[in-house]
Amino acid sequence: MLSALEKLTIFNNPLEEVVLSETHFANLSSLTFVDMGETFLTIWVPPFHLDELRASTCKLNGQFPKWLKTQKNLTWLELSNSKIQGVLPKWFHNFLSFLDAGENNLSGEVPTQIVPELQILRLRNNKLKGSIPHQLCSLSKLKILDLGHNYLTGTIPNCLSNLTTMKTVLEDYNYPPVANKIDLNNIKEILHGIELEYTSNLGLLVNIDLSCNKLVGSIPDGITNLSYLLSLNISYNQLSGQIPRNIGGLKSVISLDLSRNKLSGSIPTSLGAITSLESLDLSYNNLSGEIPTGSQLQTFNDPSIYAGNPYLCGDPLPKKCGSGGRQPRQPRRRQRGQA
């Protein structure tokens, strides 16, 4: 009778090996969906071929499960917070659309052998090193790229402007069947600085999070072409140079966090033209000059948005600019031999 079972949900059960073992799955050849979050589970060689595996907070306590290599129909793989360690494997199948291995102890580099059908790549809060691979730029269907809280170095690839979904009207985009047949519950992303769970609105979520790494260089101009990006967080890095003048090209962005970097120069006036902007953080950089008075920026009355930029002036900061809108002078460096 159980041989016809197609969906199995056993999450939040402290099952041990004596209770749940390979024997219990031996005849479940029709199984296509397993949800076993927060379940203690041993490794087995399953007789079925899953479309979805949701094993977030499952205590795997080891390397990436090798038996997943046999799951050639897998489109949804959720293994966040499962105490997985080691490197990400290179054998992900080409039709995988969702990969969440965040909140683990994964090491090594972000794989360069990228699954072309990926819509969501979430590797947040691991121990990944190396640079952001340019191969990510070929993921034309990618909607969420979350590599935050790792040890990534190098620059942000300018070719991220090639992420088609992030610069295309989402309502007109033809997503693969996975977006229709999979229940989009309990997807956690960081937006407005808060971890949120997205349900039916996931189809409208477009997010890049590269925060809390060791990225250097400037913010690439190409990233401002992602006109349907809703959230961009590149805070807590070592980025330098100026904010791109055409930052206003992010015309759909709701949350923009550039804080805790080494950005310099003035705040582009085009930033004030982003009417969708609801959350902004430019604090603790080296920005200078007058804060633009664009219509949208006037809605931000919290001075902490600009804190840690001693050469900024204008509302909402207590420091006002000089007459005629002149910026406060930065102290000259004393030349050698000068008293």
CATH number of the domain that residue 108 is part of: 3.80.10.10
Q: What pLDDT sits at residue 303?
A: 96
Residue 290 within a domain: no
Are 68 and 77 contacting, i.e. CB atoms less than 8 angstroms apart? yes
Residue 86 within a domain: yes
Residues 118 and 95: their CA atoms lie apart, in Å, by 8
Q: Which residue type occupies 306?
A: Y
Residue 125 within a domain: yes
| Number of structural domains in the chain | 1
Residue 18 within a domain: yes
Identify the band that residue 238 occupies on the pLDDT scale cut at 50, 70 and 90: very high
- Span 292-309, mean pLDDT? 90
Question: Where is average pLDDT lowest: 74-88, 149-163, 325-339?
Answer: 325-339
Identify the band that residue 271 occupies on the pLDDT scale cut at 50, 70 and 90: very high
Q: What pLDDT sits at residue 58?
A: 77
What range defines the domain where residue 181 resides?
2-285
pLDDT reading at 127 higher than 70: yes
Q: What is the pTM of this model?
A: 0.81
CA-to-CA separations, 119 to 34, 221, 249, 250, in angstroms, rounded: 20, 23, 23, 20
Residue 339 within a domain: no
Q: What pLDDT sits at residue 219?
A: 97
Question: Where is average pLDDT lowest: 62-71, 80-89, 238-247?
Answer: 62-71
pLDDT reading at 173 higher than 50: no
Q: What pLDDT sits at residue 2?
A: 57
CA-CA-CA-CA dihedral for 165, 128, 209, 289, to nearest 10 = -130
